[in-house]
Structure 1
Amino acid sequence: MSTDILERYLSWRRGRDGDPFRVRMPALGPVLFTGTPEGAREFFRAPVDLLEPPLPNPIEPMVGAASLILARDGRHRRERALLAPALHRNRISAYGNAIREAARAELSGERTGDPWRPGTRIDARAAARALTLRVILAAVFGIDDAARRAEYTTVTQEFLESFGSTLFMVPALRRKLFGLSGWERFSTARDRLDELIDAEVARRRADGGGGADLLALMLDTRYEDGSAITDTDLREQLRTLLVAGHETTATALVWALYRLHREPEALARLRAEVAAAGSDPGPAELMALPYLDAVCQETLRLHPPVPIVLRRLTGDLTLRGVPLSAGDTMGISMHLLHTDPAVWPQPRRFRPERFLERRYSPFEFAPFGGGHRRCVGAALADYELRIVLATVLTDVRLRLSPRFAHGPAPMSVPHTITVGPRSAITFDVAGF
């Protein structure tokens, strides 16, 4: 189902029934939804021991049951304590130059053989996925060798592309059929990726560890009891980082470029701010630019990476005055939260200035979720999005191709772990 259709339906239901309201979801049963700051406050502040991810979860085949995204109870706390230091803002600043180099390598045509020269038409989604995957490979595995990067890129892309929207939405199709089913193609692609990850972990252990990438930090980190993460759990956490660590940022980058090139005044203001930072501003200088930050925040407001957050209860709770029991499911619609007219004047309009005029609470603006399960990689995603967007806008001039320059925005549909435009948004490279 198109995410836009679901958003319109949820908006209609809230208009008819008020907030909160119940919607029956496939495989989950009735879900009590909220989309107000008051509801978000209660949702994100609910007792940790009463909440768990609902199952079945459509992304479990991709990330694995041990993934931090799906971990429950004490296991979630243990795994988050292990991963959080490696993804802390102070750590990820070391990847700033690698992020900028990845963007410039894409612009130079290193991947495709076709530099972004005037007259070239660019598939923004393919380009964004390629450069963000390059960044996450460097950040997670420290890969800068061209041959190894190419191997990882091929295998990872096959893995991601094999898990299409049909397998995502229809679990009944996840079965074998004499080697001919989509599920078997996906399983084969996942096995190939796991073999690469396992070989990398084995090599690192044999070499005695070391390094500044996320894998090295995870191998060195210990749980509170002094034990290390198992190879199986490590594999699934690394696979999660590969999937979530590049797809969400790539999608946000595409939407940011699309929105800016539909709003000439916002585009001109951002270019002027970046130009005023110097001829070649470094990552630290870019991260200090207020309008760049506002543009990225406004993009995530209109296009949150995960449009719905769901939690299943293990005990009794009340949400917005409605009593819930163990086994019930509650959810937040990020679309409703981020377009609440009481908080966001002209909520459908792309207007980055709103983030310069006031600060929003984590219960008004929550593109990466909130509470104890807020996305552990949010800081890396924010950091990468700002640097790549500024680099692209500095180094090239783009025009939306005629198909996308006018008319409504493309529909959003599920893309592996996030949602994104159904159509590949294209740009034409223009002269300076």
Structure 2
Amino acid sequence: MDSTTHGGAVALRRPRPALAHAAAAGIDFQWYFRRRRDRDGDPFLLRFPGLGEAVFTGTPEGAQQLFRAPIAALEPPRPNPIEPLVGTASLILTGGERHRRDRALLAPALHGSRVRAYGELIEESVRFEVDRWQPGTVIDARSAATAITLRVILDAVFGVGSERRAACTAAIGAFLGSFSGPLMLLPALRHGLFGRAPWDRFVAARDRLDRLLLAEIAERRGGGAGADILSTLLDTRYEDGSAISDSDLCDQLRTLLVAGHETTANTLVWALLRLHREPVVLDRLRTELRETSPAANPVELPYLDAVCQETLRLHPPVPIVLRRLIEPFCLRGAALAAGDIMGIAVPLLHSDPAVWTEPDRFRPERFLERRYTPFEFAPFGGGHRRCVGAALADLELRIAVATILARAELRLTPPLRNGGLPRAVPRGIATGPSRRVRFEVLG
């Protein structure tokens, strides 16, 4: 490996060959991050195909420095692998004054007090799926979780009526399914070939979804408002009194779809997997749910909250946080220049032995014993770019776990019942289990 000082006192080692390291990170990023930290210390360098080098930290000190960096010093790294999915106007990709302005528009619609009104809708979406499970059958957890979260997105965000549900479901499935890992990681593949290349299929699926979204927006602007998030955004105005354009709103809706659908679905799968491998934890959670009034707010149940937090600690939905520097910055002693990329390896942050005792163990009780700072526990990122949909994701996960456990008795099928845990691998912009997670429905 080569060394570089990056202009500072801390020497950062550049891995060689870079492609082999990138491949190792793609196969098992949690193992790779830990190996790099153990070998090279913190921070360390990692190269991403199509993006360039990034300097990573996985410590609370590093997270605090990154999250508290001056807003004017940072912007999202570009080109971004998910830009074709979410669009150039996406809140994920904008920076500076544009980001502040758009976030001020979007945040009220996704504030905790407002999204709690969607609790009953979320529960209905979970019941719709769970009540179809018959005793003696085997369900695929990812398929079930995806169906639940997609239904929530269609109802809570888009407000799609039953007459358009099938068309939207098909369009979203084709859109998400057509953006493969190679298209995300290798920009050179993003070229058409007489309508037959993977890129052609993705663009066609995206255009089809956009036509449905734009038609829905046009109908709402014409007076068909509802109580969903789309309607709220249409009623909200920028500081100068102007409304969001149809094109920009379409990008923000796709962002909510991409960032709020697969991420929550994968987290739900991890939660069910972890719970059904830990009988003591599962029994304690079932007891809390049985002894709680049906009218209780799931967010206020302490052990349910701890279980969800521990799932997010071990399986953060998006495992890396990236920022590109506009001006020089020092990250844990490494002097970085304008244009450099720095990031947080969230799995390292969430397993730092200086903070977390028995970091690899699923032990929800740790969240009942103490409170962790935003620089120790950051499943939704942090600072001024913390995920704007975090409140909705938290609520959805808690209601989904509680409703599934209340309405179904499940048992993991072998080999996951007692064997090793699957690795976390990329699933769109999120990460999910490398193997299929199946449950036998007992009742």
d(CA) in 1 for partners of 2:144, 2:208: 24
Stretch deviating more after TM superposition (343-352 or 316-325) = 316-325
1:32 matched to 2:55? The reply is yes
1:271 matched to 2:286? The reply is yes
> 2:29 aligns to what SS in structure 1?
helix
1:387 matched to 2:399? The reply is yes
Stretch deviating more after TM superposition (120-129 or 11-20) = 11-20
1:44 matched to 2:56? The reply is no
Q: How much is the aligned-residue C-alpha RMSD, in angstroms?
A: 1.2
1:248 matched to 2:263? The reply is yes
Counterpart among 124, 129, 132 of residue 141 in structure 2: 124
Question: What letter is aligned with 1:126?
Answer: S
Question: What letter is aligned with 2:373?
Answer: S
* Contact persistence 1:308–1:334 (CA under 8 A): yes
Deviation per CA, 1:63-111: give whole Å up to 9, x if none: 0010001111111101100000000001001100000000010012xxx
The CA deviation at 1:361 is 0.2
Give the match for residue 136 of structure 1: 153
Deviation per CA, 1:174-204: give whole Å up to 9, x if none: 1111111111111111011000000000001
* Contact persistence 1:162–1:186 (CA under 8 A): yes
> 1:404 aligns to what SS in structure 2?
coil
Question: What letter is aligned with 1:233?
Answer: D
Aligned residues: 420
> 1:126 aligns to what SS in structure 2?
helix
- 1:145-224 to structure 2, matched below 5 A, reads 145-207=161-223, 210-224=225-239
Give the match for residue 310 of structure 2: 298
Stretch deviating more after TM superposition (284-293 or 96-105) = 284-293
Question: What letter is aligned with 2:165?
Answer: R
* Contact persistence 2:60–2:376 (CA under 8 A): yes
Counterpart among 389, 394, 405 of residue 417 in structure 2: 405
* Contact persistence 2:56–2:342 (CA under 8 A): yes
* Contact persistence 2:260–2:393 (CA under 8 A): yes
Deviation per CA, 1:292-326: give whole Å up to 9, x if none: 00000000000001101111100011111211110
Deviation per CA, 1:347-396: give whole Å up to 9, x if none: 00100000000000000000000000000000000000000110000000
1:227 matched to 2:242? The reply is yes
* Contact persistence 1:274–1:286 (CA under 8 A): no
Cα pair distance change 1:322/1:376, threshold 3 Å: same
Give the match for residue 6 of structure 2: none
* Contact persistence 1:297–1:355 (CA under 8 A): yes
Give the match for residue 112 of structure 1: none
Q: Percent identity?
A: 63
Structure 2 stretches lacking a partner, 5+ long: 1-22
d(CA) in 1 for partners of 2:165, 2:52: 43
Stretch deviating more after TM superposition (23-32 or 149-158) = 23-32
Give the match for residue 345 of structure 1: 357
Give the match for residue 338 of structure 2: 326
1:307 matched to 2:330? The reply is no
- 1:83-102 to structure 2, matched below 5 A, reads 83-102=106-125
Counterpart among 35, 52, 56 of residue 12 in structure 1: 35
The CA deviation at 1:228 is 1.0
> 1:179 aligns to what SS in structure 2?
coil
The CA deviation at 1:4 is 5.9
* Contact persistence 1:300–1:367 (CA under 8 A): yes
d(CA) in 2 for partners of 1:4, 1:379: 31
* Contact persistence 1:159–1:190 (CA under 8 A): yes
d(CA) in 1 for partners of 2:40, 2:306: 33
d(CA) in 1 for partners of 2:208, 2:269: 28
* Contact persistence 1:3–1:411 (CA under 8 A): no
Structure 1 stretches lacking a partner, 5+ long: 109-114
